[in-house]
Amino acid sequence: MGDYSLFFILALIAEIIGTVSGFGSSILFVPVASLFLDFKMVLGITAVFHIFSNLSKIYFFHNGIDKKIVIKLGIPAIIFVTLGAFLTVYIPQKTIELAMNLLILAIAIYLISGHAKSLKESNTNLYIGGTLSGFLAGLIGTGGAIRGIMLSVFNLEKNVFIATSAIIDLGVDSSRAAVYISQGYFQQEHLILIPFLILISIAGSYIGKLILQRMPEKVFHYVVLSVIGLTSLIQTIKYFW
């Protein structure tokens, strides 16, 4: 497994940052995994890895689940992630990834600037956020940023934010993993990675929890939006580079 040493280290970092930021590791793990694997393989491995990642977060933060948000945001996400996953065969990935990164960057800057009050804590926004995050998760492997932006509008306490996001993501990743596996995106040769990814998901979530215990609530919400914006900016620069 020597060839994957750097891959595992970067995956652990992605998991820690994903836990601290609250929107999951996929938005960081996808570009990291793309350095080592074909993009369709990345989709498959990311979905499988994220299932274990979400289970770890649910275990460590299980006392904070907001059931109403899980239903209103989660059901549209699970429905539309399947559609996005099936469309991966037909739609150019790079073009969609660029559009998503530019959109997320713009929204993150808008929220950091202090104009979040213009977005209402409404059921409509939950349905829209669930639909967009699920569809993008299926299509390009990550939709956590959209979900993170929507949850940040509700000013949830950090444990509630992470646990609620994780249980929604568990349904999303389970659905798209089934589609990806049926399309051959996860191959038998990658089964050897699973034990390592399980350990990484547990360790990363636990380390992230320790960091969060020492982080004030207000700082946490700015970390969420800052990491989302920075990641989108890096991905956009990478596209043009």
Cβ neighbours of residue 143 closer than 8 Å, sequence gap 6 or more: 26, 77, 81, 132, 133, 134, 135, 136, 137, 172
| Number of folded domains that form the chain | 1
Is the C-alpha dihedral spanning 115, 208, 100, 125 positive or negative? negative
Q: Which domain holds residue 104?
A: 2-240
- Rounded to two decimals, the pTM is 0.79
> In the structure, what pLDDT confidence band is assigned to residue 202 with cuts at 50, 70 and 90?
very high
pLDDT per position as a tens digit, 120-178: 778 888 999 899 889 988 887 777 777 877 887 887 888 888 888 889 989 988 998 88
pLDDT tens across 61-72, in order? 877 788 899 999
Is the per-residue pLDDT at 1 higher than 60? Answer: no
pLDDT tens for each residue of 35-94: 777 778 888 888 888 899 889 988 888 777 888 999 999 999 999 999 988 888 787 767
